[in-house]
Amino acid sequence: MQQLTFLGKNSVAWQEVREPVLQSEQEAIVRPFAAARCDGDSFFLFHDYRKVMPLGVNLNYLDPKVLDVFGNPPLQPPFGVGHEAIGEVTEIGSAVKNVRRGDVVVVPWAISCGHCNPCRRQLPANCSRTDKKTLVSAYGFGAGMGDFGGMVSDKIRVPFADAMLVKIPEGVNPIHCASLSDNISDAYRSVGPQLDKFPEAPVLVFGGNAKSIGLYAAALAVAKGSTQVDYVDDNLERLTIAARVGANPIELRKKQKVSTLSGVLIKEGYPIVVDASGSVTKLAFGIQNLAPGGTATGVAFYVKKRNSLPLWEMYLRSATLHVGISHSRRDIPDVFPLIKSGKFKPEKITTMLADWSDAPEAYLELSTKLIIHRQPLNNSN
């Protein structure tokens, strides 16, 4: 079968690989027909970290755990690309109960069993039963996260079908929500539960490295009823999208200090702050602009070994800081009602829609949110 394969910086191609087969009665085979490029894919698609990352660790600049996650050498090609996809179930093991052949499903980015202690504690991306000696087991990141291949493939194997797969409800367009596997659900966890706790609360979002996650967070906050969503970025395309989804765009030019925003932000502070910029400076500034009892969530990669955060300010504000990986299997079901109601339209974030066969070229386009698609086997899907 064919799989989109990462070959090195700015290089991907279709390659023939062995077709996956069921390895236990709990598994399923899924044929993806809509896939999205995750913000994290830019981490290796457009940069070569194979020498730089180990050097950064040796110089005590980067946290050595980055090599435990991405491998040593890190992100070593070739490996299958993609960890955001929706597809059709084509084969199931005899013990699978929750899905049938032909079901259209979201495949979460991380492997999870549903039964171990982390899974029971609603932390499925930290599953301890993936039979891999990795901190995180997932699709699309190479050997460092296990040998599961990429989702831009003719077929993928899902090790724990009942625990992982989420059926797409009627009335939800699969192509529009291909990013539910990771980026959309990652954005939801940064604003959804918080707005349930503080209805209508204003939200501050810093956009940046996690390009689409920040925009999804802004759109979801609007959909959940926030009375004011301030979106800060230096990218004009993303600022335009933020306005399109109902947020208030605030431009912060590339060399402009984040502290200069103090005059345009809510003086009383924000109960909810989201950092998708990947900048610890912006995350710290966001914490300083929390309302008492507020929550700041970091959704980007923070790989430096030493980071300075305003802990005393957090103490005085009774603040909560949440930094962690996306537990998409937990959060996907909560997004569906917002999509079905029309309050959240993920297609407004999509900046490029391409044919599946054009994936090698499309994946290297500098576009905020790419989705590729092909015809499903069942034309009614």
> Quick one: tokens of 347?
């297609």
| Percentage with pLDDT > 70 across the chain | 99
In this prediction the pTM is 0.95
Identify the pLDDT of residue 315: 94
As a whole number, mean pLDDT of residues 119-129 equals 94
CA 192 to chain centre: 15
User: How far is 132 from 319, CA to CA, in rounded Å?
Assistant: 36
As a whole number, mean pLDDT of residues 86-95 equals 98
Supply the angle between the helices 183-197 and 328-340 in degrees, to the nearest 10: 80
pLDDT higher for 219 or 73?
219
Identify the pLDDT of residue 304: 84
pLDDT digit string, tens, across residues 14-62: 999 999 999 999 999 999 999 999 999 988 999 888 888 888 888 888 8
Q: Burial level of 217, CB count in 10 A (0-12/13-18/19+)?
A: buried
Confidence of residue 276 (pLDDT cuts 50, 70, 90): very high
Backbone angles phi, psi at 56, to 5 degrees: -60, -35
pLDDT digit string, tens, across residues 171-188: 899 999 999 999 999 999
Identify the pLDDT of residue 58: 86
As a whole number, mean pLDDT of residues 74-80 equals 92
Enumerate domains of the chain plus CATH numbers: 2-181+328-373 (3.90.180.10), 183-323 (3.40.50.720)
- In the chain, alpha helices (H): 42-45, 52-58, 65-70, 117-120, 161-164, 183-197, 211-223, 236-244, 280-288, 311-317, 328-340, 359-362
Identify the pLDDT of residue 70: 86
User: How far is 82 from 104, CA to CA, in rounded Å?
Assistant: 18
Confidence of residue 381 (pLDDT cuts 50, 70, 90): low
As a whole number, mean pLDDT of residues 71-83 equals 92
Helix/strand/coil percent split, the chain, to 5: 30, 25, 45
> Quick one: tokens of 181?
């596997």
Q: What is the mean pLDDT of the chain?
A: 94
Identify the pLDDT of residue 100: 97
Confidence of residue 133 (pLDDT cuts 50, 70, 90): low
Is 71 a residue whose pLDDT tops 90?
no
Bridge partners, residue 301, by sequence: none
Is 161 a residue whose pLDDT tops 70?
yes
As a whole number, mean pLDDT of residues 359-380 equals 92
User: How far is 365 from 359, CA to CA, in rounded Å?
Assistant: 10
Residue ranges of E strands in 229-306: 229-233, 248-251, 270-275, 290-298
Is 131 a residue whose pLDDT tops 80?
no
Residue 12: its H or E element = strand 11-16
Is 159 a residue whose pLDDT tops 90?
yes
* CB count in 10 Å sphere of residue 38: 28
> Quick one: tokens of 16?
């023939």
